[in-house]
Structure 1
Amino acid sequence: MSQPSISSKRRLVGIFAVVSFVIFGLIIRLGWIQIVNGEKYKELANSQQTRDTPIPATRGTIYDRNGKELAISASTNTIWASPREVQKPEEAAKILAEMLDLEEEKLLEQLLDKTYGLVRVSRWVDDEIADAVRGQRLSGVWIAEDNKRYYPYGNFASYILGHTTNDNNGMAGIELEYDKYLTGLPGRWIKSTDGAGRQLSFGVERYYPPENGLNVVLTIDEVIQHFAEKAVENALEINKAKRVSATVMDIKTGEILAMAIKPDYDPNEPRIPLDHILKAELENMSNEEQLDAWYAMWRNPVINDTYEPGSTFKVITTSAALEEGVATLDSTFYSSGTINVAGTIIRSWRWYNPFGHQTLAEAVQNSDNPVFVELGQRMGPETFYRYINGFGFADVTGVDLPGERKSIMYSLGNVGPVELATISFGQSISVTPIQLLTATAAIANDGKLMKPRIVKELVDLEGNIVHQFEETMVRQVISEKTSKEMLEIMESVVAAGGGGPAYIPGHRVGGKTGTAQKAVDGRYAQGLYVSSFVGVVPIDDPQLAILVIVDEPNGFSHFGSTTAGPVAKEIFEESLRYLDIKPKYTESEAEMYAQTEVIVPEVRDMTVKDAAQILIDNKLQYNTEPEYIQDDQAMVIDMFPKPGARVTDKSIVLLYTQPNEHIPSTVLVPDLRGKTIREANTILRTVGLNLKVTGSGKADNQSPEPGTEVDPGTIVNVVFKPG
């Protein structure tokens, strides 16, 4: 047998070396993959073989102090898709787009993108539509349970409750401030699948249930909030104001019982303004402008904005002067109508007919600026600022709502004679409404400043209290003696001074009015005012404090006494009746105002029409919630006070209603041609219809046509043209 040649041996050695090198390289590569990058590829394999579907937690419910549901999580559906499992993406995209009212091209693009393991096709789908999608049996498409935030009373207390984002995260109000408690922990549904997305028979399937959020119980009383909302809504219309707000506080605890602000928005649709004019303007705005408009609409002016308090701040100046001893109830002052402060002439509002000699109480009744300038001068800036800071104007109150602002005050070193004078009667400074209300409540609460709060407790699903927020006394600002003296003075303002429109027969009401010019670009603007009233009731046992602010009234008057005072009276009067605080009439009042007691009749499960007639026959009045305009066939499902309760005649019974499903209710579309946008909107709202605006000027044509019979809530499309 012949021996291999030298060249053959060399070739064999070379091949062996190459093969050995390749094998060695493969061993190194395999070791690198298995050892060095083993965890990485293991994770990639798990991600390919695992379908992880999130199961959202149910967001906690928000209740009023009596257990009324103000914000709930309604059960709904979310449609998911796995692009790797969808066998016919074009067909699936067409079917889903048609059924869910989505853009077909955009949906198809998502279904073709295999880099995504899971795609959320549509959220908050009704059960009927979800069942229809399920009936299509589309591969790679399934339906999971979801929750949607729902506010059963629409725009009721919207600035307190706030709203959530599309992902159910808090965006404003209590929803934002207590988001970490309300949210809960989401669950997961994990199962093993093959490369085509089919579930593996030997795979592991795990279901981790979600941990639902805690419920939040507010200090808000839904009934008093209702009284406040109605009164503020009326005041907004009567005074043709830019904005009206009313906040009611429990004097002894600092609990906020009501906070009503109009105009407002519906947290169910937070990006769609209730004001149809603003809604039309939004359609022509850029994205950035829309964001600014939304945030402006969501701002809570009671917490997030400052304003010049004007004469309502005089209760602070008077309290400080009494406590410091620079004035007493027996002190007298002389006002010539003006006062010269370091060369600056400061006038009384009635400078042309000066008040002359007057007591301290009369000066507060007359709201005479020169007297308060004198009080400020007697105290000096250091002493006066000690009380201003003591009443809480130097810092935020700590109320549990987001975005609270500080006041805008001069630093003590910058307070000269003129600044001290203007501060003494509430000008040249800006405070938040919640600061002024809290300070006024302290004056009535024997001088004790309480921390305002709007949440009472956190409760789990079983009703167990997880955490209770206790009332907190911040400090003693003035003595009990000064507090009682101030209550006498504030009562005299309502009984004999400018606060007369807030007078309630049989109840001792105290308060102070304020009318301040608005500053625009650093200067006071002619014709622009902020009118206000701050008050307490009853004087002999103070329980409720209120602050009403009417921003830019353009009605018959701009004075706080005639614009804000009646609002406070309406809310106080209804709240006192609701809290069963009986009137104590004087002899003259008893002859004029004494009322008889009546028993509230049973009207539940009746139509509003029938219930109204029964209540009227029993000398009672009524309001409905929600308010179904011109639908007297709506059904009464609950009421307050309850049947059998004893109330005075002419009391208001609150009827909780819902549409009557058994009786069709339609309205006729009115003729809007020739009307302005505002006129058309007012006409449609009175008959329960909505307006969609195109163009500007006066109405030219509309759809549906005038006289068409439509359901309440129908949108009437109106084209406006200049003319």
Structure 2
Amino acid sequence: MRFLCVAAFIAILWCSLWGRAFSLQVVDPQELGRRALRQHLTSELVTGRRGKILDRDNRVLASTLAIKSVFVRPYEVESPYTVSVRLAGILGVDPKFIRKKIRKGRNFVWIKRKIDDRAAAAIKKQGLKGVYLQTEFGRVYPNKMLSGNLLGYVGIDEKGLAGIEYAFNKTLTGSSSKFVVQRDAAGRRLFLQGAEETTPLQGDDISLTIDSEVQFFAEQAVQYAVNAYDAKWGGAMVVDVVSGDVLAWAQAPMFNPNVFGQYSSSQRRDRIAQDAFEMGSTIKPFLMAAALEENIIEPDTLVFCENGRWRLHNVRIRDTKKLQWLTAKKVLSYSSNIGTAKIGLDLGATRYRDYLVRLGFGKKSPLPLAGQSSGILRPLKRWTQVDLANAAFGQGFSATMPQLAEAYLALANGGVRKPLRLVKNFSLAENVQKERSQRIFSEETARNVLAMMQDVVEHGTGKSAAISGVSIGGKTGTAQKASRSGGYGGKYTSSFVGLVPAQNPRFITLVVVDEPAKNYYGSKVAAPAFKEIAMRYMALNGTLPDSEQSRLFATTAPAKRKPTYGERRFDVGGKPQISGESVPDLRGKSVRFAMEIYARQGIIPSVQGSGAFVKKQKPAAGAKWSAGAKQQYILWLSEQS
């Protein structure tokens, strides 16, 4: 009986096994095959690196590096307490925060994204079950604050949120691609030689017209003006007349896009593009040009300036000095509001406003930047005689710095308007180019206005902008700011626009200082900043007279202030201060640090192996930097420092 029972049990077990095998092999093979594929194969979304942002000489302003992020698969974690405590010690966060995430019961949770290389190495060394490192891409701005407001910044997912990063997000963003990978029983990815996606995914690079060296000393000069006069904000633009290229787009205070979250939205704001100001007397040259073009005046036409006080329809217009009879040339030179207002009234609102529109005021600049202001230029039907008089000397309407720069570019270009250019590999649409490249003034009119502006610097309000041995045309501006309660208050915007040389200009420099406290005249606040920028730009190009060379670097340096947010500045030569003229010893340094050093030299090295630290480098430390095609830069990586 016992034998029969055992035999029957074995027979039943044997039949069950054969039945199960029959079911697996014959009845449900396709469904089970699909389930096996789902368990052992998975699709992964891979996004390419974001494209670089370069200056006109291919110096790297923004680049992307591989950065580790840490995540957890909660169902694999054996001891949430141990994992949370160890990760918290490495990442510097609260263990309760990590433990709460682990206990949520999800299959995947981020603990911290884009951690530093040493933290990633420490986590890997712990070997915690269920804790993984994922390679992502992180945006790096190697020159820190240089051009920060213009460049903008990206979010945690590498999407542009402001500035050039936002305006060209589609161009810069790498494309995405899905591909299938194998996993083992624990869900870990199996890396197979040659199985990686080979489709090029990297985003396109953007080359700006900005010159990093010009940008640096423009920022330095503006920062000094803001500090010296306790101003709210300062901005400067340098424009090449021949090409229309914007060489500098400087603002102060500045911000570091590497740590953009530590700044307020107002500090991150690109006010050159997004804020419009009443430009004051810097508008007067366009009134003069329009009056000359319409034969209302000649340079020697006499205008009575009413001894500095004049009433127009119960509105009092004042000059800073008691001026009487002046030629039109001297009206501009001494910046007489009364004389300019009288010329504006003779010209008429219709003709004057038409010239302003043709110069680009009241419309957004064609520069490829999001969030630009169009300024304020009221409809003609709303202009009274008082409005016309105010507009003649730059009040009653507002403009952005790019609009003002493009208008002055028309004067410098012989009366022909041409568009500004900020991005080298971006061209305006053909119809926009045609609209922007139109003749506004005759060559004779432009030449006469430039001569008037030269007299402003040599004998008028712009004397503080004069450079010995250099002919400069310029115009000061001091605009009283409108009050929120109506009318004008006690705050001012100081400005200066200079063209060098005065006749046949090669470059234009605009400086605007908003709400200076200690002095508000453009001749005292903005003109010296222009002079500093112009001298250093001419020295850079070898056109500064020898008599001024010795004075250049004896000028007052920007007031010292405590660096914030890990600030490190870019030197005039465009090279990182840490490395000088030779390659530093990068062995043992993090790969991120090494890539920043190379990026500042405009070099992208070849990377061999894997890891977070540099084990070996070529060329060796001490070799001279050389960006030529013959020199190859290689970094070999290791997991240990």
| TM-score class, shorter | 0.7 to 0.9
Over 3 Å counting, the alpha-carbon distance change for 1:415 and 1:242 in structure 2 is same
Q: 526, 534, 540: which one pairs with 1:578?
A: 540
Q: Distance in 1 between matches of 2:363 and 2:44?
A: 47
Say which structure is richer in strand: 1
Give SS of 1:74's match. Answer: strand
Query: For 1:18-417, what aligned pairs fall within 5 Å after superposition?
Result: 50-116=41-107, 118-187=108-177, 190-193=180-183, 197=187, 207=197, 211-273=201-263, 294-336=264-306, 337-341=308-312, 343-350=313-320, 354-417=322-385
Report deviation, 1:526. Answer: 4.2
Could you give the per-residue CA deviations for residues 6-58 of structure 1, whole angstroms, max 9, x where no partner exists?
xxxxxxxxxxxxxxxxxxxxxxxxxxxx99xx9xx999997665544544422
Give SS of 2:446's match. Answer: helix
Over 3 Å counting, the alpha-carbon distance change for 1:624 and 1:553 in structure 2 is closer
8 Å CA contact 2:511–2:530 kept in 1: the answer is yes
Match of 1:552? 515
Q: Distance in 1 between matches of 2:524 and 2:93?
A: 53
Match of 1:530? 493
Q: Distance in 2 between matches of 1:87 and 1:188?
A: 32
Query: For 1:586-625, what aligned pairs fall within 5 Å after superposition?
Result: 593=547
Match of 2:10? none
Could you give the per-residue CA deviations for residues 102-134 of structure 1, whole angstroms, max 9, x where no partner exists?
333333343344444x33332222333222222
8 Å CA contact 2:273–2:402 kept in 1: the answer is yes
Which amino acid counterpart does residue 168 of structure 1 have in structure 2? E
Report deviation, 1:90. Answer: 4.0
The answer to whether residue 394 in structure 2 is matched with residue 426 in structure 1 is: yes
Q: Distance in 1 between matches of 2:260 and 2:577?
A: 24
Report deviation, 1:307. Answer: 1.0
Q: 497, 507, 512: which one pairs with 2:470?
A: 507
Q: Distance in 1 between matches of 2:159 and 2:392?
A: 44
Over 3 Å counting, the alpha-carbon distance change for 1:637 and 1:384 in structure 2 is closer
Over 3 Å counting, the alpha-carbon distance change for 1:409 and 1:229 in structure 2 is same
Q: 553, 577, 588: which one pairs with 1:657?
A: 577
Report deviation, 1:573. Answer: 0.8
Could you give the per-residue CA deviations for residues 407-441 of structure 1, whole angstroms, max 9, x where no partner exists?
11221111111111111111111111211121112
Q: Distance in 1 between matches of 2:217 and 2:190?
A: 61
Report deviation, 1:624. Answer: 11
Higher relative contact order (CA 8 A, sep 6+): 2
Which amino acid counterpart does residue 309 of structure 2 have in structure 1? T
Report deviation, 1:386. Answer: 1.0
Q: Distance in 2 between matches of 1:441 and 1:481?
A: 16
Give SS of 1:134's match. Answer: helix
Q: Distance in 1 between matches of 2:33 and 2:378?
A: 64
Over 3 Å counting, the alpha-carbon distance change for 1:115 and 1:129 in structure 2 is closer
8 Å CA contact 2:173–2:203 kept in 1: the answer is yes
8 Å CA contact 2:234–2:511 kept in 1: the answer is yes
Report deviation, 1:538. Answer: 0.9
Q: Distance in 2 between matches of 1:231 and 1:551?
A: 15
Match of 1:25? none
Over 3 Å counting, the alpha-carbon distance change for 1:114 and 1:185 in structure 2 is farther
Report deviation, 1:86. Answer: 3.6
Report deviation, 1:100. Answer: 1.9
8 Å CA contact 1:392–1:439 kept in 2: the answer is yes
Report deviation, 1:210. Answer: 6.3
Which amino acid counterpart does residue 447 of structure 1 have in structure 2? G
Give SS of 1:96's match. Answer: helix
Could you give the per-residue CA deviations for residues 498-540 of structure 1, whole angstroms, max 9, x where no partner exists?
0010001111111111111111214345431111111111123
Q: Distance in 1 between matches of 2:382 and 2:66?
A: 58
Over 3 Å counting, the alpha-carbon distance change for 1:531 and 1:218 in structure 2 is same
Over 3 Å counting, the alpha-carbon distance change for 1:139 and 1:186 in structure 2 is farther
8 Å CA contact 2:218–2:533 kept in 1: the answer is yes
Gaps of 5+ in 1: 1-33, 274-293, 459-466, 584-589, 597-615, 631-635, 641-653, 663-723
Give SS of 1:191's match. Answer: strand
Q: Distance in 2 between matches of 1:44 and 1:302?
A: 59
Q: Distance in 1 between matches of 2:75 and 2:555?
A: 60
Which amino acid counterpart does residue 509 of structure 1 have in structure 2? I
Over 3 Å counting, the alpha-carbon distance change for 1:628 and 1:381 in structure 2 is closer
8 Å CA contact 1:457–1:468 kept in 2: the answer is no
Over 3 Å counting, the alpha-carbon distance change for 1:410 and 1:531 in structure 2 is same
Q: Distance in 2 between matches of 1:67 and 1:543?
A: 23
Higher mean C-alpha deviation, range 52-61 or range 427-436: 52-61
Over 3 Å counting, the alpha-carbon distance change for 1:408 and 1:42 in structure 2 is farther
8 Å CA contact 1:86–1:139 kept in 2: the answer is yes
8 Å CA contact 1:531–1:550 kept in 2: the answer is yes
Which amino acid counterpart does residue 341 of structure 2 have in structure 1? V
8 Å CA contact 2:539–2:549 kept in 1: the answer is no
Higher mean C-alpha deviation, range 252-261 or range 356-365: 252-261
Q: Distance in 2 between matches of 1:359 and 1:179?
A: 53
Give SS of 2:499's match. Answer: strand
Match of 1:539? 502
Coordinate RMSD, CA, aligned? 3.7
Taking only the aligned residue pairs, the percentage that are identical comes to 30
Over 3 Å counting, the alpha-carbon distance change for 1:501 and 1:74 in structure 2 is same
Over 3 Å counting, the alpha-carbon distance change for 1:75 and 1:200 in structure 2 is closer
Q: Distance in 2 between matches of 1:620 and 1:577?
A: 10
Report deviation, 1:541. Answer: 2.5
Over 3 Å counting, the alpha-carbon distance change for 1:428 and 1:629 in structure 2 is closer
Which amino acid counterpart does residue 658 of structure 1 have in structure 2? I
TM-score, normalized by length of structure 1? 0.69
TM-score, normalized by length of structure 2? 0.77
Report deviation, 1:656. Answer: 4.3
Q: Distance in 2 between matches of 1:128 and 1:321?
A: 68
Over 3 Å counting, the alpha-carbon distance change for 1:488 and 1:42 in structure 2 is farther
Over 3 Å counting, the alpha-carbon distance change for 1:268 and 1:254 in structure 2 is same
Gaps of 5+ in 2: 1-28, 564-568, 586-641
Over 3 Å counting, the alpha-carbon distance change for 1:528 and 1:44 in structure 2 is farther
Match of 2:524? 562
Q: Distance in 2 between matches of 1:201 and 1:505?
A: 69
Give SS of 1:326's match. Answer: coil
Q: Distance in 2 between matches of 1:515 and 1:102?
A: 52
Q: Distance in 2 between matches of 1:637 and 1:410?
A: 42
Q: Distance in 1 between matches of 2:260 and 2:374?
A: 27
Give SS of 1:268's match. Answer: helix
Could you give the per-residue CA deviations for residues 539-567 of structure 1, whole angstroms, max 9, x where no partner exists?
23211111111111112x21100110000
